[in-house]
Structure 1
């Protein structure tokens, strides 16, 4: 969900009963103008609280500053990062890369993750967004059938029968 998507998100797009968000698609040639994104169950109560607070203010936007829509968060992001003592260059877009990496590592379906992120083609997700960790590469190597050799009985490397 890029900034242009989140900044256009209104509370009318959030269905807290169904636990879904009608996320506006980025203007990058997407076929549809929006997509339905499920909300994590543990986030729904927080969104309910925020929706009630914003309704009391008469604010229709999910992302806002004092009731006004937000268009850019660069300065606020860098200020918050510095205040938190975070010295690494990390951006909100970094979180877009972290989400599919974490989701796929924990067993999410590739096509489902791609659809949630707004990609019609899962290869975009695999090519650009997913970053694998060594632990997963090791798991991939060990997933193949073994050679049937017991570790203690394996021949020494470079020593054949002469």
Structure 2
């Protein structure tokens, strides 16, 4: 791209690398979030075709309209994706304003679309049992341990992959999630149900730096996805599931067992209670479905 940023002649690629470093090291964004934001920004700049200092609100609105129609990505996008693009652009122009490259922020009055809350997909208790038993403990101890940690601790896949040996305590039994999403550390107690499994795993694999390692490196998210998908197939689960499904299931089962939603919020590491409240709707749905079974 040959665009220039501001009036100082800095090449856009150099600027974008600087901004990416800012997102990673100052804003402390996760690898996946930074990657998505930078992809959004590049698409926006290529579409607008002008330096950020000349971009107006009308340019942004035109881009968002084209995005919603599928003209940017080649297919229609959801409100969630549009909202992410807006967040990406807000971050960009806030940064440009911070460093003095623009006087007026074109994102100042741009609103996020109203998002419809979807009830997250989750597994039944029986499905969880089948999933956790999909791998033989002797032959696939690591796989079984990964699945158990995802469910019993409600970890995000990135948190599981970044988990260090020093962050897992057996006495007392807890996992320390360091700088999870939202830059918040949290403590998650380890269930007595999986303590023997974790102890056996540590004794056999003797992880050094990361709790889950592969050839001396932390396990890759794609590996975790494959482990979950394969376990679902072996367990005969036909639902489309992924690692985050186990986190949703962890939260849902807690709410269904009448755990205070504030406690669930802390265990999940949610900044806002409204994010956690979606699981209350899951419990409500179960109640409505139960009542519908009453027939006279």
Question: Which secondary structure state, in structure 2, belongs to the residue aligned with residue 131 of structure 1?
Answer: helix
Q: Distance in 2 between matches of 1:134 and 1:105?
A: 11
**Contact map agreement 2:187 2:267 (CA 8 A) in 1:** yes
Summarize deviations over 1:63-106 as a string: whole Å, max 9, x none.
Answer: 23354311223344334433444332111111111111110111
| Deviation per residue, 1:10-40 (Å, 9 max, x gap) | 11101100111111233x433x3x2111111
Separation in 1 of the partners of 2:282 and 2:263? 17
State the SS of the aligned residue for 1:37: strand
CA contact (8 A) 1:54 1:60 kept: no
- Compared CA separation, residues 130 and 15, structure 1 to 2 (3 A): farther
CA contact (8 A) 1:97 1:130 kept: no
Between structures 1 and 2, the one with greater helix share: 2
The residue number in structure 2 matching 1:147 is none
Q: Which residue does the alignment assign to 2:199?
A: 48
Name the residue aligned to 2:182.
29
Deviations 1:110-161 (A, max 9, x none): 1111101111322211136861255534899xxxxxxxxxxxxxxxxxxxxx
TM-score, normalised via structure 2 length: 0.40
Task: Give the aligned partner of residue 71 of structure 1.
Answer: 220
2:164 corresponds to which of 3, 6, 10: 10
Contact 1:2 1:93 (C-alpha < 8 Å) held by counterparts: yes
How many residues align structurally? 135
Change (3 A) 1:110 1:7: same
Aligned with 2:196: secondary structure? helix
Alpha carbon RMSD of aligned pairs, Å?
2.7
Gaps of 5+ in 1: 141-162
| TM norm structure 1 | 0.69
Secondary structure of the corresponding residue to residue 132 of structure 1: helix
1:82-161 superposed matches below 5 A: 82-127=233-278, 131-132=282-283, 134-137=285-288
Per the alignment, in what secondary structure is the counterpart of residue 186 of structure 2? strand
What are the ranges of 5 or more consecutive residues in structure 2 without an aligned counterpart? Answer: 1-154, 292-296
Question: Is the contact between residue 163 and residue 211 of structure 2 (CA under 8 Å) also seen in structure 1?
Answer: yes
| Structure 1 residue 7: Cα displacement | 0.3
User: Aligned to 1:87, what secondary structure does the other structure show?
Assistant: coil
Contact 1:11 1:51 in 2 (8 A): no
Aligned-partner Cα distance in 1 for 2:286–2:225: 34
Q: Which has the higher contact order (CA 8 A, sep 6+)?
A: 1
Distance 1:74 1:43, change over 3 A: closer
